[in-house]
Structures are given as structure tokens and as C-alpha cells.
Amino acid sequence: MCGIVAYIGQQEATPILTEGLKRLEYRGYDSAGLAVIRDGKLTIRRAVGRISALEERLDNEVQQAQVGIAHTRWATHGAPTEDNAHPHRDATGKLALVHNGIIENYRVLSQYLKTQGIELETDTDTEVLAKLVGHLYEGSLEDAVREALREVRGTFGIAAVHTDEPGVIVAARRGSPLIVGVGQDEFIIASDAAAIIQHTSQVIYLSDNEIAVVGDGGFRSTTLEAAPVSKEVEEIEWTLEQLELGGHQHFMIKEICEQPESIRNAMRGRLDLDASRIVLGGLANVTRELTRTKRIILTACGTAWHAGMIGEYLIEQIARIPCETEYASEFRYRNPIIDDGTTIIAISQSGETADTLAALREAREKGALAIGIVNSVGSTIARETDAGVYLHVGPEIGVASTKAFVGQVTVLSMIAAMLGRRRHMSHADCDTYLRALAQVPDLIERTLAVSDQTREIAQQYIERSNWLYLGRGIQYPVALEGALKLKEISYIHAEGLPAAEMKHGPIALINEGMPVVIITPRGHWYDKIINNVEQVRSRGGSVIAVATEGDKQIEKLADHVIFVPDLPEELQPLLTVIPLQLLAYHAAVLRGCDVDKPRNLAKSVTVE
Ligand code: G6P
């Protein structure tokens, strides 16, 4: 995600800022920038791409300053261009601001600024905040920031400077981390301790809704309501590597564990529970056309294809629109029939997968409406679609996709409900559905508690070289995804199947002790899948069931039961996949595999 570094003290700011940004590179970014004040003048330099591209632009103008703010941007609003990169300035050009997080009401705020005669130059939510703080400035940056933040809905970590007060940096946070490193007559503020640790291990952690002022007067902090807050200086004891991984052993487990937060971000500002409505700004221009579409083709590769299969089920069940999911690599060469009224939805974490892009182009060429569900803002697929929905789950570093998958399913759940509601879904049904969806981040949090149990199960079957994963209906793609996770990172052969198909062949594989993961949440397939559990047991297989909390029956039948909280059937995959991610992760660790960089695999496959 985005990163912030800010410095004020006796040393030269620019090298400290760029060095700090490099420490945050592991978080992923697509552009970078910095602003310094020297001799009462504010200078900003920004660049798309790597920090080295920014360094090439660091001329004399940004040298010898002793105060500055810097940022690495992971685009959320607006493409990763130089104009959209931070820092952003106010209308007077005297203030610069960097921001992490999402300002949900930025449209309303930008309307307000327009009425005040303030024009916006970029597509970002951050510029709105910079302009708003500048507009409210009357001689105190701290007061202007406070006043502006009171108007803001959403999340932020910010740092701001103003040429009229070159001796201070003002920082604030809500839902986005910010840490103040305390040195000898100097302060270094960062969104992540990794950028601070080489300077000092003495830090102050800002809390939500807190504003800090650092600089020549030392450190002080207040609440958004201006009440003073007293803070303790704490000692960081972690190494740099531990910090980057947030205390986890691998990026994959870090990303699994951050799913409650990433899914919260994927839904932020999009669920209007009061009006029982889904607000997907990226589809606004095509909503009418999409609602009337006669057929939807979902296309993707790998994990994203599994998300597409779940999307197919959701769109058919909830929106009642005929839907099919296609491997992009097959679809692109099939001379597909695209009639008037066909919509193609390309799903991709990276937005750069060559097969998905080619499938999208093929369908577009034939006249389909093209929608993207993409994580990487401004990526090729995002640019080549008519409209789309970003995942907003943050950069995914582990090669085996986890949080992007759950993000894709979350977005598809929202699209299905948006279309359903516009076609025939009742207000009451939509209300129930949205309220359940809003619970998902908390329920994922609860589900993550099965981690130790999945490790014990993995340990028990670690020598088995063949596993089966069975699911029915909407859980069938979850079974495929669970099997893929295990294959990808632990190199154990695993096969995912629609449970009823087992009797048509794969049942021959089952022998004494073979691990068979069966996804059996409550729902209208429950009784049928219980039959599959019995078929496996009677042939000596070991059943690892993923079931709904409180299910007593399954406890008697399965060798192991991993419980997940209850949810309406359509939303269950958002929870049932979590134990499967954990199971694969622990199996790979126990087998000593390189979890984040599995052999032969690439995170983004930009070749055919
Ligand atoms: C590669 C990755 C998979 C991923 C697939 C699609 O094969 O190893 O993890 O699911 O590409 O990637 P995309 O970026 O399009 O979602």
C-alpha cells in the first residue's frame, strides 16, 4: 500500500526521505514523490515507477532542505501518473500533503471546493484534502488540518508542511498507521517502522483521530477535538526484515491474516446499508447497459478464474443473468460467439495477465461491453475496459494469491447484488444480503483462529502425496482453489472436484488414510455432501471437513472438522476458503518449501 516518510531536523532531508521510501518498497507502489521547504520555498518532485526514477529528478532545488515529506503511491483513485502522485499542493502552492488511505466523501468535498472557486487538477482523493486544508488555512497548519479532517469520512494517515511554518510537520491518522521516530533534535515520521529503524529505535505510535505536530517545538499531539494527548516514547525491538513482514514468517501468511482489513477496504464506501444499495463508482457509466445485458462471460486465469466461477454462480442466482466462466487462454482462440448484449468481465489481480488481456480484446473486438475486476490500478486491463471495479486490497506479494481472491469474490458479490437489486431483488432480500456481507471482515477475523488446527492437520498428512478437495454448488470452485493452493506452494498433488463427480471415476483413487477435504457448510447441498463424506469414510479415506459452527452431525462422521461461522449460502465461500489457504500454507512450511516464491511460478504472467 502507499507509504509515507517525513523528516524535520538538522540533517539534509532529501536523502533521508528517499532512503526511507526505499525501505517501504516491499509494500508495493507505482509512483513516488517528495516535497521539501528551503528558504521559504516549497519544491515538489514526483515520478511514475521506481524510486530510482524519482531520484533522477532530484536536482539542486531539493538539496540542503531540512524539512520534507515523501510518499510512495499505490493508486486507488486515478491512474498511476505523475500528476496523481503525491505530494499534492493547495491552491496557493504553499502547502504540500501526502496521504495514505481513502477519503470516502471526496466527491462531496470536491463539489464544495468548486463552489469556493477552487479547481482540482488531478483524479485523486488526496488532492481534495490538500486543497481543503489550504482553503481553511489561517496561519496555523495544525488548526487547518484539524478542521479539514473533521469533514472527512474514510481513512487517512497524512503528513503536511506549509511554507509559512517551515519549522513544523503536521501529521494525523485514522485507520492508517503513522509512527513518529524521535531522534536527537529531529523527527522522522513514517507509515511503517521499516523507514525509521535505521535512524532511531525510539518511537511514538499515533492513535486514531490524533494529530501530531513535530519540529522546532518538539512533539505534541492532540485529538481531533483539540484535547491534548500525552504519549509514551517506546522502543522498537524488531529487525528490518521482521518489520516488513509485520512479524509474520512469510508474505503469504501476512496477506492471509490481513484479509479482514483488506476486505473492509474492498467494501469501503460501497455498501450503503441505509438505502440497501451498492455504490460502485467505477460502473456508474455503464450501469444501465450492464443491467440489461443478456449474457455475461467471466474470463480469467488461475485463482482469478476460480473467483470467476463463484461469480458465475452469484450472478446467475442473484441477478438471474445467464453467465459462463471461461479460461482466458481457451476463450481467446475459440472464435467465441459474442452477440449483441454480451458483457465480458475480466478478472485479474495484476491486470497484466497476457491471456486475460487477449480474451478481453477478442470480446471487445466483437462488440462486448468490457468490465474489469482488477487490483492494480491503471494496469493494462484496467485501461482497456469500458468500466470496472478495483479490489482495493493492497499489493499482493506472495505468489499464491489469497487476499486478492477473497477481494475478487467480494467484488463479484457486490456486482451480483447491484444487478439483482436493479432487476428483481426485493429491498428486504437485498438488505439481509448486504448486512451479511458487511459482517464478513469480522467473520474472517474469527475464522483465522483455526490456523493452529490447520497446522496440526497438515502435519498429520504431510507425507501423503495425493489429496482430494470436494465441494458442491458454490463450494465447488472453493474446492478447486483449495487444491490449487496446496499444489502451488507445497508441490503435493491435489485435485478439486464437484463432489457428485467423485463416483464417476476419482473414487477409485481413495485408499486408506488418503486426505479428502470436503467443504460441507449448512445449505441446500448439505445432505448430499454428507453422503460423499460417508462414501469416502467407507473406503478408508480421511475426511477433513470444513463445516458451519455448531454442526454436531459432521463431528460424528469426519476425522477432522474445521468450523467457520454461519453466513447466507451465497457468501459462504468468503469464509470456507480461509482454512484451505491456511492448510496449504502450513503444509508448505512443514515441507520446507519457499512459500512466497514457489518453483516455476510467477506472480504475473505477461507472456502466453
Ligand atoms: C499466475 C499466478 C496465479 C494467478 C494467475 C492470474 O498464474 O501464479 O496466482 O492466479 O497468474 O493472475 P492475475 O494477476 O491475472 O490475477
Query: Taking a C-beta distance cutoff of 8 angstroms, is the pair 80, 73 a contact?
Result: yes
CA separation for the pair 438, 415 (Å, rounded): 14
C-alpha cell at 566: 454461519
* Residue ranges in 315-353 assigned as alpha helix (H): 328-331
Ligand 1, residues 411, 604, 606, 608: which to mutate, most atoms within 8 A of Cβ? Answer: 604
CA distances from 221 to 86, 148, 494 (A): 24, 17, 54
Question: Rounded CA gap, 42 and 99, in Å?
Answer: 18
Q: Whose CA is nearest to atom 3 of ligand 1?
A: 302
Q: Is 603 a catalytic residue?
A: yes
Q: Tell me, what DSSP letter sits at residue 571?
A: G
From the list 2, 257, 323, 430, the catalytic residue is 2
Q: Which residues contact 501 (CB under 8 A, 6 or more apart)?
A: none
Which ligand 1 atom is nearest residue 353's CA?
Answer: 15
Q: What is the pLDDT of residue 236?
A: 82
Question: What gap in Å lies between CA 46 and CA 481, rounded to an integer?
Answer: 40
Q: pLDDT tens digits, residue range 88-132? A: 999 999 999 999 988 989 899 999 999 999 999 888 889 999 999
Cα(261)–Cα(204) distance, rounded to whole angstroms?
23
What pLDDT score does 177 carry? 83
**C-beta 606 within 6 A of ligand 1:** no
From CA 33, how far away is CA 58, in angstroms rounded?
A: 10
* Catalytic residue chosen out of the listed positions 231, 366, 597, 603: 603
Whole-number pLDDT of residue 1: 65
Question: pLDDT tens digits, residue range 192-216?
Answer: 888 998 899 999 989 999 999 999 8
Averaged pLDDT in 10-residue chunks for the chain of 608 residues: 92 96 85 97 95 95 96 87 95 96 91 95 91 97 97 94 98 92 96 89 93 95 95 82 82 96 93 93 95 97 98 97 96 89 96 93 95 89 94 89 98 98 94 97 98 98 96 97 97 95 90 95 92 93 97 95 97 98 98 90 75
Following DSSP, what letter does each residue of 88-107 receive, concatenated?
A: EE-TTS-EEEEEES-BTTHH
Burial class (CB in 10 A: 0-12, 13-18, 19+), 102: buried
pLDDT of residue 553: 94
Sheet holding 187-190, edge to edge: 41-48, 31-38, 67-73, 3-8, 187-190, 179-182, 202-205, 234-235
Determine the distance separating the centroid of ligand 1 and the alpha carbon of 302, expressed in angstroms.
5
d(CA 523, CA 66): 63
Catalytic status, residue 2 = yes
Cα distance between residue 33 and residue 98, in whole Å: 9
User: What percentage of the chain's residues is helix, strand, coil (to nearest 5)?
Assistant: 40, 25, 35
CB neighbour list of residue 111: distance below 8 Å, 6 or more residues apart: none
Residue 587 Cα, ligand 1 centroid: separation in angstroms? 21
* 3 state SS for 343-368: EEEEEECCCCCHHHHHHHHHHHHCCC
Query: How do beta strands 156-162 and 228-229 pair?
Result: unpaired
How close is the Cα of 304 to the center of ligand 1, in Å? 7
Tell me if 303 CB under 6 Å of ligand 1: yes
Distance CA 469, CA 557 (A): 17
The pTM score is: 0.81
Q: Are 444 and 485 in contact (CB under 8 A)?
A: no
Q: Report pLDDT for 184.
A: 92
Neighbour-count burial of 590, counting CB atoms closer than 10 A to its CB (0-12 exposed, 13-18 middle, 19+ buried): middle
**pLDDT (0 to 100) of residue 9:** 97
C-alpha closest to that of 255 among 606, 608, 603, 607: 603
Edge-to-edge strands, sheet with 342-348: 323-327, 295-300, 342-348, 369-374, 387-390
Residue 356 phi, psi (nearest 5): -65, -40
Residue 55 has what pLDDT?
A: 96
Alpha-carbon distance of 518 to 526, in angstroms, equals 11
C-alpha atoms less than 13 angstroms from C-alpha of 249 in its C-beta half-sphere: 9
Q: What is the pLDDT of residue 243?
A: 73
Expressed in angstroms and rounded, the spacing between residue 319 Cα and the centre of ligand 1 is 27
Cell, residue 464: 501423503
Helix or strand holding residue 222 (H, E): strand 218-223
β-bridge mates for residue 36, sequence order:
43, 68
Position 343 scores a pLDDT of: 98
**Dihedral, CA of residue 12, residue 17, residue 19 and residue 20, to nearest 10:** 130
Index of the ligand 1 atom closest to the CA of residue 301: 6
CB-ligand 1 contact for 605 (6 Å cutoff): yes
Rounded to the nearest 10 degrees, how much is the dihedral formed by the CA atoms of 256, 257, 263, 268? -150
